[in-house]
Chain A
Amino acid sequence: MAISGLVLILFLLAHMYGNLKVFEGQDAFDSYSHHLRELGEPILPYGGALWIIRVVLLAAIVVHAVSAIILWRRARRATGGKGGARYASSKAPRGAQRSYASFTLRWGGVTIALFVIYHLLHLTTNTIAPGGASDSPYERVVNGFSIWWVVLSYTIALIALAFHLRHGIWAAMATLGANTSPKRRKNLNIVAVVVAAVIVVGFLIPPYAVLLGLVG
């Protein structure tokens, strides 16, 4: 759960960096996208590095999802299927200190998984092409994010991602043994908030730049 999650976070950081190249204009963005396929040539075949990355990511997603389902099922079995809501009293619905981020970790993960499918259909395969399909990745981005509801759907997904990362980064590091003292706990939580904020803001900048007419 923790290791697969951290692998996915590394991917998100790289993905976010690539997205920000949209500010360098169409040529730079499209050639960046093309170079991802030439990465590692001539040792690797055309698209080889990209396929290695895809396989690693898919493996990370499968491991992450399977671990989550195992944990979810164990939690349900241990609490009669009711989790934190297993008491008749309605006076402490959020427990003593549970955060919204921890509360929504599992369903937030499902939301993100559904979003990833939508996102791949939209910008990778271009099967869903609001604003018009194109062979240029730059044009796909500009066409899509010129439409307000596309930007809204991405915003909602990224807010879900923000909460997921806020708790997930902290939990991953604590699970791997990094939480060695109350002071370290505080610092790990700060790291989780900062990384979650950087990723989400970094991903939201290009769509809003397009929507507001700063790019395109």
Chain B
Amino acid sequence: MNITLRVWRQRNSDDAGGMQTYQVTDVSPDMSFLEMLDVLNENLTIAGEDPIAFDSDCREGICGMCGLVINGLAHGPKERVTTCQLHMRSFSDGDVIDVEPWRAEPFTVIKDLIVDRGAFDRIIQAGGFITAPTGTAPDAHAVPVPKADADAAFDAATCIGCGACVAACPNGSASLFVAAKVTHLGLLPQGQPERHSRALDMVAQADLEGFGGCTQIGECTAACPKGIQIDLISRLNRDVLGALTHRA
């Protein structure tokens, strides 16, 4: 396959940046999108040019490190995959593919396709934890959890914090991310003590970071590589409403 790439190049966070065109030849359909970028970067390095900076880590779709807006869609055209698990067979020979970084005011572009997602870490610090005694780990079956709750909590816990929801949201909202974390801990008995303060604190931190508000459009769930559903945002809102009638 021969592919034409239009890639966002930006020297640093102060640089204006812009789209640049590159040709990539002899692309195997079995390559992942990131492997295709690796090939391009090798060629750029050989030619003495600056390789394209992009994030990646596990490359098996479970770490949340990679993430590109491909043809205007977070993680590209295929549903429920991260960029590293998107393969070139999803494209056709001769395609022109646009590649851009996540865009949202709290996600500063550090270089090219790499953005600073520290805002997500600070949202987690605000409430994405439970109070647990230190010492020997308790027996796994010491606290019974209903199967349905365990399953739903696990579904929410599959959120890898990649930021695709923010990148896709027309409002630049982080509601799906916050909702996944609040649901994951709020459904389990271990998460109950902080349940209401958690919802309030994480939403407050997301607002403070400059993320937008949710208007229930659903682009986040369409982009989510883990298929986190939008009903979790209703769950988050119920915890926020519940906090109004609880003492902090």
A residues whose Cβ falls under 8 Å from a Cβ of B: 70-71, 74-75, 77-80, 83-84, 86-93, 95-99, 102, 105, 167, 170-171, 174-182, 184-185
Binding site for A on B (CB under 8 A): 6, 8, 19, 69, 71-73, 98, 100, 103-106, 168, 170-173, 207, 210-219, 222-223, 229-231, 233-235, 237-238, 241
Of chain B, the residue at the smallest CB distance from A175 is B237
Assembly CA distance A170 to B222 (angstroms) = 17
Chain B residues closer than 8 Å to A88, beta-carbon distance: 6, 8, 19, 98, 100
Which chain B residue has the least Cβ–Cβ distance from A88?
Answer: B19
Closest 10 CB pairs of A and B: A78-B172, A92-B72, A89-B98, A84-B170, A96-B222, A177-B238, A171-B216, A179-B234, A78-B212, A75-B171
- Which residue of A89, A97, A167, A178 is within 8 Å of B234 (Cβ)? A178
How long is the Cα–Cα vector from A56 to B238 in the complex, in angstroms? 26
Known: A92-B71, A178-B234. A97 touches B222 (CB 8 A): yes
Residues of A within 8 A of B6 (CB): 88-89
Find chain A residues with CB under 8 A from B105 CB.
77-80
Given contacts A77-B105, A92-B73, contact A83 B98 (CB under 8 A): no
CB–CB A71/B171 < 8 A: yes
Q: Which of B212, B219, B230, B241 contacts A74 (CB 8 A)?
A: B212
Give the residue name and chain of the B residue nearest to A92 (CB). B72
In the complex with contacts A96-B222, A98-B217, A180-B234 CB distance below 8 A? yes
Please give, as numbers and ranges, the residues of chain A lying within 8 Å of B73 by CB-CB distance. 92, 95-96
Residues of chain A within 8 A (CB-CB) of B100 are: 87-89
5 residue pairs from A and B, CB less than 8 Å apart: A79-B172, A93-B72, A95-B222, A177-B234, A179-B216
Residues in A neighbouring B217, C-beta threshold 8 A: 98-99, 102, 167
Given A79-B105, A80-B105, A97-B222, are A182 and B231 neighbors across the interface (CB < 8 Å)?
A: yes
- Chain A residues with CB below 8 A from B235, complex form: 177, 180
A89 CA to B71 CA, complexed, in Å: 6
A residues less than 8 Å from B233 (CB atoms): 174, 179
Chain B residues, CB < 8 A from A90: 72
Q: Which residues of chain A are within 8 angstroms of B218 by Cβ–Cβ distance?
A: 97-98, 102
Contact B216 A170 (CB under 8 A): yes
- Give the distance in Å from the alpha carbon of A176 to the alpha carbon of B239 in the complex: 10
Contact A180 to B231, CB < 8 A, known contacts A78-B171, A79-B172, A88-B100: yes
**Smallest CB gap from A89: residue in B:** B98
A173 to B37, CA, bound (A): 43
Determine the distance from Cα of A177 to Cα of B237 in the docked complex, in whole angstroms: 6
A174 to B104, CA, bound (A): 24
State whether A74 and B171 are in contact (beta carbons under 8 Å apart), knowing that A79-B212, A89-B100, A175-B214 are contacts in the complex.
Answer: yes
Provide the residues of chain B in CB contact with A97, threshold 8 Å.
218-219, 222
Contact A74 B213 (CB under 8 A): yes
Cβ contact within 8 Å between A179 and B173: no
Distance of A188 Cα from B210 Cα, bound (Å):
30
- Separation of A99 and B73 alpha carbons in the complex (Å): 16
Which chain B residues border A80 with CB–CB below 8 Å? 103, 105
Q: Can you name the residue of chain A whose Cβ is closest to the Cβ of B170?
A: A84
A32 shortest CB reach to chain B, Å = 37
Q: Give Cα A178–Cα B8 distance, bound, in whole angstroms.
A: 40
